[in-house]
Amino acid sequence: PNLVMLFVDDLGYGDTGFTGHPTVSTPNIDALAFGGKVLTNWYSGCAVCSGSRAALMTGRQFARVGVPGVFGPTVKAGLPLNETTIAEQLKKANYSTAIMGKWHLGQRARYLPGSRGFDYYLGIPYSDDMGAARASKCKADDTSQATDDMGWMREVYEQAGYVDPSIEDLADPAGNVLPLVYQEFNKTRILEQPLDLTKLADKYNDFVTSYVEKHKEEPFF
């Protein structure tokens, strides 16, 4: 079977139309719910970004994998290379694989999706509220400087035990400007840096619909 997985940060149970939100309209997600089966009990592998994705990709508790709750924007590490991802398992069954959106399991090349079982990837390597991206304008052609407040709630995450400062390279300037990364069979291109957030949804939509159209006659994840 073809597999499509949607994994969303900060989406509460009542944030969709089919669960009764009074003002938010989510007709496409509602159609999936009404045309399938709704499971009303779900526990994420972690309350925050990287830990939850590590659990999702490996099926293991994030602490056992060795991933902190949150990787910062200048992290030198990633999901340990000895871990097997669901994409790598599905490749053994001759699946085509693609991923779109925030990865947040390491932004060095060896940790990006192309090295972890995914044939295609379009997305951002860490959260859009990290580094200068948090204080930047949406449009990439806005040349005004971000404020000096480059924080991303690091202290809060550290106090909660979600951040490991020892794997950060705080001198890395790349962590200040969020990139849009594209990978095809592990060949990597930076399409934009800084990223134009006003056009991101359209780029994501085009990427996913094009991928499904091209691979609809074969098993894909």
104 is catalytic: yes
37: which DSSP letter? -
Burial class (CB in 10 A: 0-12, 13-18, 19+), 177: middle
The residues facing 99 across adjacent strands are: 121
3-state helix/strand/coil string of 156-186: HHHHCCCCCHHHECCCCHHHHCCCEEEEECC
Q: Which of 21, 46, 104, 138 is catalytic?
A: 104
30 contacts 18 by C-beta, under 8 angstroms: yes
46 contacts 54 by C-beta, under 8 angstroms: yes
Beta strands in the chain (DSSP E): 98-102, 120-124, 180-184, 187-192
Q: Which of 46, 49, 138, 215 is catalytic?
A: 49
With H, G, I as helix, E, B as strand and everything else as coil, classify residue 1. coil
96 contacts 219 by C-beta, under 8 angstroms: yes
The residues facing 182 across adjacent strands are: 122, 189
Report how far residue 200's alpha carbon sits from residue 171's, in angstroms, rounded to the nearest whole number: 28
Catalytic (active-site) positions: 49, 104
